[in-house]
Amino acid sequence: MIGFTRRCSHVVTLGLTAGLLSLAYVSQAGAEAQLLIEASTGKVLHAENATYPWYPASVTKLMTAYTTLRSVKEGKVSLNTLLTVSRNAAAQQPTKMGFKVGTTVTIDNALKMLMVKSANDIAVTIAEGVGGSLEGFADLMNANARRLGMTQSNFVNPNGLPAENHVTSARDLAILARALIKEFPEYDSYWHISSIRYGSRVMRNYNSLIYRYPGADGMKTGFICASGYNVVASATRNGRRLIAVVLGSWSGAVRAQKAAQLLERGFNSGGLSWLTPSLGTVDALAPIDAQPPNLREEMCGGHRRKPPSEENEEEPEESANANTASGNESTNGPAFMLSNAKPAKFVLGPPVETTPPTVVFTGPADRPDTVEQTASATPKKKKKVAGKTDGDKSAKPAANATKSAKPAKPAKPKVSATTQ
């Protein structure tokens, strides 16, 4: 009996030590969080570090969109409400549209720029226009987070640029994604616009899954040095919609690949689901009291082949990509796997544009600014969008953006080379 007690004590000690080590590890290089759920039920299909606090980066803009659409639904504003770019908005760090102070844009166009270009200046413009101030809008964001049960989230700004106490978790982001899908089905198109056209500029969505993964229909990416590469992604197959969250990836390419592997695994797991112990629903996942990992040194420490940004598609070094959603057990905390069967490999295909770019513009909806006035005076030569040959060469305005009386001359946007 004494021997049994000692052995039990030893096991408990080892378990506590392992738990402490896993908590410590998630704050070091290579940390990553992953979560896969069913959109309709909230059922958890895979969870790995899903309740560790994390810096959301531009995935924050999902809550910015949610808060804005709630205001639309409540009748406080409309999609045609004009917002004005303030001095504070214009001063935001890239990625941005680069509009001059005083430029006006409808909420509808602002949301499209927010979700595709991930424009930080537009996020602030929305916040100031809808919430009255950045502080007022942050209060609305946090009130919505509490109402949704996002117990690990605190929002300080509408764009996700680095700020103290601006945190979330994979669990909370999945809850937010479900709410966007369930509460605003009429606005679902905002989450899967593959590209936008502003004047002669065509800007592709940073969420490459939208044009590389079959059935992808959302939602948002993000990157800052402290967080690594984040994504909340959704896809639908045979009427079943899944939501994948990946936080802390090494690059945009790895982020997309891991999210695709999670989704593919979920769609292909139906026949083996009875072998898998239930992981419950996303709202029931127990939060972990810890500090969010800071990946600044790993992501931006100067050892990469090129400076990191949202556009970085750099492939990882072997050590950075050792643990993936494709089936390797992670060493940075508990992982709950769909099954013990070897998961199917899925390789993303080349970009394929299935729809033309969505035209966006400044000015009111009934009198949009002409393309000549809104397009950048010195646009940079851009990569061709797959499936289009004249998208970046045409100097002619888009037909549906030019039918108007002559409005006042608006701002000329800057072309930003860096992103968040």
CA 93 to chain centre: 18
On the CB side of 65, CA atoms within 13 Å amount to 30
What are the respective helix, strand and coil percentages of the chain, to the nearest 5? Answer: 35, 15, 50
> Closest Cα partner for 149 from 178, 186, 115?
178
Three-state secondary-structure class, residue 88: helix
Q: Which residue is associated with the tokens 């080892």? A: 14
**What is the C-alpha separation between 180 and 182, in angstroms, rounded?**
6
Of the residues 61, 96, 117, 258, only one is catalytic, namely: 61
**What is the C-alpha separation between 119 and 159, in angstroms, rounded?**
8
Q: Retrieve residue 111's tokens.
A: 């949301």
Of the residues 71, 117, 118, 169, only one is catalytic, namely: 118
CB 336 within 8 A of CB 48: yes
Q: In what order do the strands lie in the sheet with 195-198?
A: 201-204, 195-198, 358-359
Amino acid at 229: Y
Torsion (CA) 3, 9, 13, 15 in degrees, nearest 10: 100
CB 323 within 8 A of CB 15: no
Q: Is 118 a residue of the active site?
A: yes
Q: Is 61 a residue of the active site?
A: yes
**Measuring CA to CA, how many Å separate 100 from each of 38, 103, 346?**
42, 6, 44
Q: Is 153 a residue of the active site?
A: no
Of the residues 58, 153, 200, 251, only one is catalytic, namely: 58
Q: Retrieve residue 86's tokens.
A: 């303030």
Active-site residue numbers? 58, 61, 118
